[in-house]
Homo-oligomer: A and B are copies of this chain.
């Protein structure tokens, strides 16, 4: 385990890690940015040199130490079945560490995220637990009352970062607060230390790099001459000197990607968003159900649908649980929701698209007015946005420290922004950029138009969250209910975050005669596969008026935090070019 001096060296050539970004891609340093970058790089090199020296010293000390007898030899090494800690060592997690533990011996199972020697008799380590909790540990040789040898100290100082270790230590107050760790008021005086699972000598991506903003989200391996551009993305305001890695490098090193504080925080926020969605809808009388992924027909024309051989027939992967939500309503439920994967075989290589994502869907009976559904969708999202700040304030702050973002503005209660599509287009014509002066009320909005409208609404109404209602008839599918008072528009809506759609929904036609007529108007044969089964549902028995919506969880998380890509919000992002890991 003494071979870890290479820890901070660039990864070997076969590993597509951050190595290229450390390279010499910095010709023509004329801007302030470049100067800053150069300075940062110098700092980094100095730090690297310092560490190398430290490790060389440790290695030297280690080999000389090996010649003397080691009285502490049972107190460190690889963990085995025989490894025993003191029976009075208390198990305590770092987040629960308090004054009552000072002077006590504790047991900790944690990741060692850093180890270094200070002289030949002292080693410092940083130990980390889930939730970005870290604490400083130190091992001092030949102290009175502690069974720590010089050999043991050297051994600890040379443990590969990101090894998982078992530590026995006494909790002490440090002379001054430890700024490099999240536990600042306590430190651990190590008496025993074992490696439970060793990390490799060279990590494919260091934790520090993993915690930097991702440099590039391209699905393709970036050729070397794009490295300058990558560094530019990376170096915005950055003085850490730690190179950022591409998304491909992050995915190739998924373990380190996930261990980063920023990804842990995003994962926590995502899990809580999901829980808030469910608990709110449950409190409103919604019943959960599971729609199928495997379906017999591609209901919306078959574009962008994955098809697979299914025994002697074919199957498709559901693009949306809508049909099944409606069956639940037809089948006697007043309100239903589902949380699950949906699939799009869309060859879009953008930071906004994935081929598999998590849908938060809901459908409900309408009593008097389809706006009951709009308000429910608005209500659940506002609940999620308001509560996430209560549940995850530290996680949000942590993400913002890596991916800076303006606060996500919410409307004051009672001042929710609900515009009709026509009102939105009017705003764009009157207050939007030149190129949108002639947008029409009958045509769907483009993504740039949506973003421009988002900017206008933020300025005018001070909110990043709003509803656009009454979409034009031509912009909506056959099942969208027309507004009885104005058949040019539908009772269908989108919900937006920062000018980007995160939810689409509407009232559905529940009368089979009206539905078949509408299907014909849209140029579709009501007897075609997938369509026929859909219409038949409304013929089986009387189905009340209903509506719903589908929310993209990945987008909600990504846009709430203003992440540069939805891929950062997903646990295992799926793109047309990538299914690994």
Which A residues are closer than 8 A to B by beta carbons? 81, 91, 109, 111, 129-130, 160, 162-164, 195-200, 203-204, 253-259, 263-264, 267-268, 271, 274-275, 278, 282, 287-296, 306-311, 313, 315, 317, 323-324, 327-328, 330-334, 340-341, 343, 345, 347, 355-356, 358, 365, 367, 484, 510-511, 533, 537-545, 570-572, 574, 576-577, 579-581
List the B side residues contacting A579 at CB < 8 Å: 292, 294-296, 310, 313, 315
Which of B204, B257, B292, B570 lies in contact with A574, CB distance below 8 A? B292
Q: In whole Å, how far is A269's beta carbon from the nearest beta carbon of chain B? A: 11
A258 cross-chain contacts in B, Cβ below 8 A = 327-328, 330-333
Q: Are A200 and B541 in contact (CB under 8 A)?
A: yes
Q: How far is the CB of A357 from chain B (nearest CB, A)?
A: 9
Q: Can you sample 17 A-B contacts with CB below 8 Å?
A: A91-B367, A109-B365, A195-B542, A199-B542, A255-B330, A255-B543, A258-B330, A258-B332, A259-B332, A264-B332, A292-B572, A293-B293, A293-B356, A295-B579, A310-B576, A315-B579, A328-B571
Verify B341–A198 contact, CB threshold 8 A. Answer: no
Q: Is the Cβ of B287 less than 8 Å from the Cβ of A267?
A: yes
- CB of A541 within 8 A of CB of B255, answer yes
8 further A-B contacts with Cβ under 8 Å, apart from A197-B544, A310-B579, are: A130-B332, A160-B542, A197-B542, A255-B330, A267-B333, A294-B355, A306-B308, A324-B571
Max count, chain B CB within 10 A of own CB: residue among A162, A253, A310: A310
Q: Which of A91, A288, A310, A572 has the most CB of B within 10 A?
A: A572
Given A258-B332, A294-B355, A540-B255: A197 and B162 interface contact (C-beta under 8 Å): no
Query: When the two chains form the complex, which single residue of B254, B331, B341 contacts A293, counting CB atoms closer than 8 Å?
Result: B341
CA distance A275 to B289 in the complex (A): 11
- Name the contact of A511 in the complex, choosing from B81, B163, B197 (C-beta under 8 A): B197
Residues in B whose Cβ lies below 8 Å from that of A484: 81
Min CB–CB distance A298 → chain B (angstroms) = 12
A111 to B330, CA, bound (A): 11
Chain B residues positioned under 8 Å from A203 (CB to CB): 540-541
For the complex, give the distance between the alpha carbons of A261 and B282 in Å: 20
Q: Assess the A274–B288 pair: CB atoms within 8 A.
A: yes
A580, chain B: closest CB distance, angstroms: 5
Most buried by B among A267, A310, A542: A542
Q: Which of B111, B327, B347, B540 contacts A332 (CB 8 A)?
A: B111
Contacts of A340 in B (CB 8 A): 340-341
Chain B positions within 8 Å of A313 at CB level:
579
Closest CB in chain B relative to A328 CB, distance in Å? 7
Contacts of A574 in B (CB 8 A): 292, 294
A-B pairs with lowest CB-CB distance, top 4: A258-B331, A308-B308, A197-B542, A296-B579
Taking CB atoms, residues of chain B closer than 8 Å to A195 are 542
Chain B residues, Cβ within 8 Å of A332: 111, 130, 258-259, 264
B contact residues around A196 at 8 Å (CB) = 542, 544-545
Residues of B within 8 A of A511 (CB): 197
Q: Are the CB atoms of A259 and B358 closer together than 8 Å?
A: no
Q: Contact partner of A109 among B253, B268, B544, B576, CB < 8 A?
A: B544
Partner of A533, one of B263, B345, B580: B580
Q: Are B164 and A544 in contact (CB under 8 A)?
A: yes
Cα distance, A290 to B557, chains bound together (Å)? 14
Bound Cα distance from A311 to B543, whole angstroms: 39
Establish whether residues B334 and A130, one from each chain, have CB atoms under 8 Å apart when the complex forms.
Answer: yes
Check A294/B541 contact, CB under 8 A, given A259-B332, A287-B268, A328-B258.
no
Q: Is the CB of A358 within 8 A of B255?
A: no
Alpha-carbon separation in the docked complex, A511 to B415 (Å): 57
Q: Is B293 touching A510 in the complex (CB atoms < 8 A)?
A: no
Question: Across the two chains, which residue of chain B brings its CB closest to A570?
Answer: B290
Shortest CB–CB separation between residue A272 and chain B, in angstroms? 9
- Which residues of B have CB within 8 Å of A537? 254-255, 581
Give the docked Cα–Cα distance between A438 and B260 (Å): 54
